[in-house]
Each structure stands twice: as structure tokens, then as C-alpha cells.
Amino acid sequence: MESWPELVERAQGCVACRLAQGRHRVVFGAGNPKALLMLVGEAPGHDEDLAGEPFVGRAGELLTRILAAVALSRDDVFITNTVMCRPPNNRPPEPDEQQSCRPFLEAKLAAIEPKMVVTLGAVATKALLEDPHAAITRLRGSRHLRQGRYYYPTFHPAALLRDPEKKRPVWEDFKRIRRDYDRLQAGLELEPDA
């Protein structure tokens, strides 16, 4: 099986879709490759494209603070996106671009084996729940067991920057995520979904 450094190296050279043309850096993902919890955003933006790191701009700073509020650091978790290269003008990634990048996302999931995946915003939620009609406003706060892994849709931090009313629900979501994290880390079953 491909090692983690080999996977990273293969990703760095990827030209599987048109997004490769406009990128400065491939944003593979960052954090703990043995993380219990993985967070998946939409796509790298301007700052991430230059830094080669996910969530380093304003939305990223907010994400770091949200994690800190539940006593998690970026090094505890693994953070990535549905696609690894910045779409032009920060448009959402097209379905075929997401498809091209999907094997890398699957390879990260297979290597890290996180028990929990937080999907940040509509694009990541639709992609990971494999439901093009998934509505984030309806789904946030819920928990989905798929192939032995729990998925937690919540709002994207950029949405919180635009609409502070979303802060409270996201806080509720992360408190629940932290509770489940503690139980899974202790090898306990999760409490039934409310």
C-alpha cells in the first residue's frame, strides 16, 4: 500500500483536473495523520493557495478558534477540503473537479481512519453524504453513521463571518462533537441520536 509520504507526493504533482492550471500550491491537508476527527471544507481560497495549508485565512482563523473553544488544536485533528486546488475567483468546485479529487479524499480517509468527520458547509456535506440535495440548514446538528464512521454536518466558518446568527448553532454542534469525541476516544458507544 502507498505510504503517507508517497500519497502526499503524488497529490503535489496531481494534474487530474483543470484546477491544476491556476494553482500556486496543492493544499493536501494538515494536522494529525492519526486523527480521530477529520474536518472537510470546500476548497482552498487565496490564502490557502499561497500557503499550501488549509484554512489559514479569515475563515481558517475562526475555525481554529472554534476548535480551541472545545479544547482541540489543529494538530489534534486533520483538516482538508473536497478539492486540493483553488478554484478561480473562489467559485465553488465543479462536480467533475470534486470527482477528480475524490480518490485523494478517499485515500486520506483510508489512511487516517477517522471515526468522526465534520463536513463544513453545503459543498462538503453534499460530497461526503453523497447526496446532491443535502440541505445544510436542515442537516446541521445531525449525526450520520456511514461505513462505520460518524459524519457531522455544520455551517462553514465563512458563513459565520457573514451571518453571526449561525455562531450559536455551530457552538452547539461542536459541543456535541466534543462529547462524542471523548466517548469514542475512551472506546465507549455513542449516546443515541436525540
Q: Which residues bind ligand URA (CB under 6 A)?
A: 41-45, 48, 54-55, 57, 59-60, 81, 158
Q: 76 or 190: whose CB is closer to ligand URA?
A: 76
Residues 6 or more apart in contact with residue 143 via CB below 8 angstroms: 150, 151, 152, 176, 180, 190, 193
Q: What is the Cβ-side half-sphere exposure of residue 118, based on CA atoms within 13 angstroms?
A: 26
Give backbone dihedrals phi and psi of 153, rounded to 5 degrees, phi first.
-70, 135
Residue nearest to ligand URA (CB): 41
Q: 93 or 114: whose CB is closer to ligand URA?
A: 93
Q: To the nearest whole angstrom, how small is the minimum distance from the Cβ of residue 47 to ligand URA?
A: 7
Q: To the nearest whole angstrom, how small is the minimum distance from the Cβ of residue 182 to ligand URA?
A: 26
Give backbone dihedrals phi and psi of 39, rounded to 5 degrees, phi first.
-115, 135
Q: To the nearest whole angstrom, how small is the minimum distance from the Cβ of residue 49 to ligand URA?
A: 9
Q: 37 or 59: whose CB is closer to ligand URA?
A: 59
Q: To the nearest whole angstrom, how small is the minimum distance from the Cβ of residue 156 to ligand URA?
A: 6
- Rounded to the nearest 5 degrees, what angle is found at the Cα of 42, between the Cα atoms of 107 and 95? 75
